[in-house]
Amino acid sequence: MADEPNRNPRAQPPNHDPALGEIFNPQTSLVESLGNTVDSIRQIAVDLGVRPYKVHAVRVKWSGGEIGRGTPETVLDQAIVPTPRIRNVTSVNRESTTAGTSEKGNIRLDRISPRYTEDEIKYYFSTQSDLGVDEEGFVEIYVDERDGQTQRKRYVVSRVPERRPDKFDWVVTLRKQEDNRQRDRDYRDKRDKVWR
């Protein structure tokens, strides 16, 4: 058992100050009350076309009892709104391999609405440990319709999401993953003839 600290010589230490304490009702704090306004302001950038991409949380369940076996069923394809800002895009690099090219690296989404709860963020930005053996959870980011139908680039969560009340947002770090969804929205490449 740790020793108790020496007696505080000050007349009124913080633990004995009745004006100090934990927040009594965080749901009515100023930060909480401004969440709707902040989202409305961020939506202006989306409406102006400044964010030319969409961000979707996706969950897929496979009928064969494990990932990649059987038929994939999309159980969640949810747009994250207002569209978050993508940071560090330059850290994703295209690498040449004997099998072709692949993209590797991390990006960061910020300005994710502060009105999402911790449980919602965990559900939308799930890690494999949050899912069953027959489920996949990932984030797809793709250019909006201004360029026609584009490929959805697939990312997985690489760090625990962080709530930033002082910036009115959540931040999620994502790692680029192979197996982008095809333009026809199929989860498997039609060129791959060996499906399990």
pLDDT in tens, the chain (196 residues): 677 888 888 888 888 888 888 888 888 898 999 999 999 999 999 999 999 999 999 999 999 999 889 999 999 999 999 999 999 876 666 665 665 566 788 999 999 999 999 999 999 999 888 899 999 999 999 998 888 878 889 999 999 999 999 999 999 999 998 877 766 667 654 444 444 4
- Looking at residue 107, its amino acid is I
What stretches of 63-134 adopt beta strand conformation (E)?
72-79, 85-87, 93-97, 100-104, 106-112
Look up residue 120 and give its two tokens: 């919602």
Q: Model-level pTM greater than 0.75?
A: yes
Answer whether 67's CB lies under 8 Å from 139's CB.
no
Q: Which long-range contacts (CB under 8 A, 24 or more apart) does 73-76 make?
A: 75/135, 76/124
For residue 60, give the H/E element and its range.
strand 53-62
Q: In whole angstroms, give the CA distance from residue 195 to residue 71.
A: 10
Beta strands 85-87 and 106-112, pairing class: antiparallel
DSSP 123: H
DSSP 181: B
The DSSP bridge partners found for residue 153 are 141
